Amino acid sequence: MITTQRILKAAGKHASRALLATRSALGAARTRHCPACHSDVAGFFRYGAEAEWGCPACGASPRERLMHALLDAGLIGLPTGGAILHCAPNEGSLVQRLRTGARDYVPADIDPDRYDVPGMRKLDLMAMDDVARFDRIYASHVMEHVPDDGAVLRNMLRALRPGGEAWLLVPLWDLPSVDGPADLSPRERERRFGQWDHVRQYGPDFAERIAAAGFCVSMMDAAMLPVEDVRRMALADTLFRARRPA
């Protein structure tokens, strides 16, 4: 759905990329670093309210860069020869990283034709019935789209092996989470939740919803990394690390 907000954000993004390209061509110092593509860049381009959002070399977002930084620092890890479910795999660098070394890598979405990823499968998280199959489930900016997040979280718990982890990222604000009614119009969803196809806005209490499904939960963000790395890589977002108890 095309909305005024999406048009304005896209226009700002393209203008910021053009300005950044000009600065780079004029020899601006490459003081920023992208851990997704390992490029040193002059800066990151704007998207919406985020002044340093995307990598000009690969397009990686702050949350994509955060995941690489946490993996690089050893604060989270991928099992060798494990099974990984990658929901909505639109971050190319993480597709490659999660696929490498996995015994069973499953990229999936309810609308798989949107993705140019080998092996894409159709998956409705509301109807997922896998049992103790996966070691990791990665879902970045997915949960705000699902009609019943409690049901999806319980499905994820069942689909994980004991000790397995779901890595969940969602758009956050500082207030309590708010769910919209089922009949909310797309324009009202955009006004309330920031995007026309979001059905809720999460706050930090998302951790309580995850715990209610049976997970052990911890929250991880850029503050766990050295301040200089956070600045240099323009890291943002929060990872909800949900572990199925052993």
Q: 35 and 97 share a domain?
A: no
State how many domains the chain has: 2
Q: 19 and 83 share a domain?
A: no
Q: 165 and 102 share a domain?
A: yes
Say whether 124 sits in a helix, a strand or coil.
Answer: coil
Q: 223 and 151 share a domain?
A: yes
Torsion angle, CA of 244/242/153/68, rounded to 10 degrees? Answer: -130
- Residue partners of 161: CB distance under 8 A and separation at least 6: 83, 132, 133, 134, 135, 244
Q: 151 and 71 share a domain?
A: yes
Chain centre to alpha carbon of residue 176: 20
Domain range for 19: 4-60
pLDDT of res. 6: 73
Domain boundary among 37, 60, 83: 60
CATH number at residue 182: 3.40.50.150
Q: 200 and 96 share a domain?
A: yes
pLDDT of res. 1: 64
On the 0-12 / 13-18 / 19+ scale of CB atoms within 10 A, 81 is exposed
Domain boundary among 12, 45, 60: 60
Please give the Cα distance from 61 to 72 (Å, whole number).
Answer: 17
Tell me which residues of the chain have a pLDDT lower than 70: 1-3
pTM of the complete model: 0.92
pLDDT of res. 24: 86
Q: 46 and 154 share a domain?
A: no
pLDDT of res. 138: 98
Q: 68 and 56 share a domain?
A: no
Q: 82 and 158 share a domain?
A: yes
